[in-house]
Amino acid sequence: MPVDCKNPKPGLEAASLTDVGLQRANNEDSSLYWEPERDDEFRRKGRLAVIADGMGGHDGGQEASHMAVETVRQVYECDFAGDPQATLVAGLQAAHDAIQHFAAQHPQFTGMGTTCTALAIVDRELSFAHVGDSRLYLLRGDKLSRLTRDHSYVSRLVETGIVRSEDAESHPQRHILTAALGSGHDITPHVPEQSVPLQEGDTLILCTDGLWSVVGEQELARIARASAPADACLTLVRAALDRGGPDNITVIVLRVSS
């Protein structure tokens, strides 16, 4: 289980790992980490990380998630609007349109779609855009905060008070999405009201539901806090596999360093 250890420019440690799990034939997750090579471009655009969890038969989910992360990267790299947040939203919209166009041209992929969570870090300011139920966490000291809001049926039940938040993670309908790239006419990504200032030592965790649905937040925080990003990725994926690995598992861990 080799961990993909990134080699980013100074100021960040980064690693990622994906595993098909123990009950799926294909890995429909995709992820990437990207930053410009040129220093002047890096100062403007900073760093990009994207994670996606696809859905749809006949390899449709695999195609959708790959298309999502690559489209977001292309938009961020080639059509950067000067505003990281606005560019991330534009990237998700472009991915949504691309997936729908592809499905229309290939009827065997009808119903394909994907979650997508994308973040950018420019001069230690975090921006993100999110659709679906993959998650972005911020670990600062002993406190783990979930920055994204699940677009899911159970999340709506929690918001209306029908289901308790502590029961949501084990609810039998927790995987039913209310929004995904490629699904429906319009998308409304979840975005922060303003960028999030990062501090030295902060750890960001991007993960698909194959991880968070079986590894609780307390354990997630403990492992991420105690380990370097590469070791944290390995330990987290092993923990999900130890709990049956019911879905594909993908995680990216980023740590702000001096």
Report residue 150 CA to chain centroid gap: 11
Find the domain containing 201 and state its range. 4-256
List, for residues 4-26, the tens digit of each pLDDT value: 878 899 999 999 999 999 999 99
Task: Please report the beta strands in the chain, taking only residues with DSSP state E, as ranges in sequence order.
Answer: 4-5, 12-19, 29-34, 47-55, 113-114, 116-122, 125-131, 135-140, 143-146, 196-197, 203-207, 249-256
Assign residue 79 the CATH number of its domain.
Answer: 3.60.40.10
Percent of the chain with pLDDT over 70: 89
d(CA 127, CA 108): 36
Tens of pLDDT, residues 116-140: 999 999 999 999 999 999 999 999 9
| Res 158: pLDDT | 46
Phi/psi at 107 (5° precision): -55, -25
List, as one string, the DSSP characters of 14-77: EEEEEE--SS-SS--EEEEEE--SSHHHHHHH-EEEEEEEEE-TTTHHHHHHHHHHHHHHHHHH
How far from each other are the two terminal CA atoms of the chain, in whole angstroms? 29
Number of domains in the chain: 1
Give the separation between CA 207 and CA 51, rounded to whole angstroms.
7
Residue 111 φ/ψ region, left for φ over 0, alpha for ψ in the -120 to 50 degree band, beta for the rest: left
Angle subtended at Cα 87 by Cα 82 and Cα 90, rounded to the nearest 5 degrees: 145
Within 10 angstroms of residue 186's Cβ, the number of other Cβ atoms is 7
| d(C-alpha 82, C-alpha 258), whole Å | 25
What is the pTM (predicted TM-score) of this model?
Answer: 0.92
Q: pLDDT tens digit string along 214-247?
A: 999 999 999 999 999 999 999 999 999 999 999 9
Q: Is the pLDDT of residue 154 over 70?
A: no
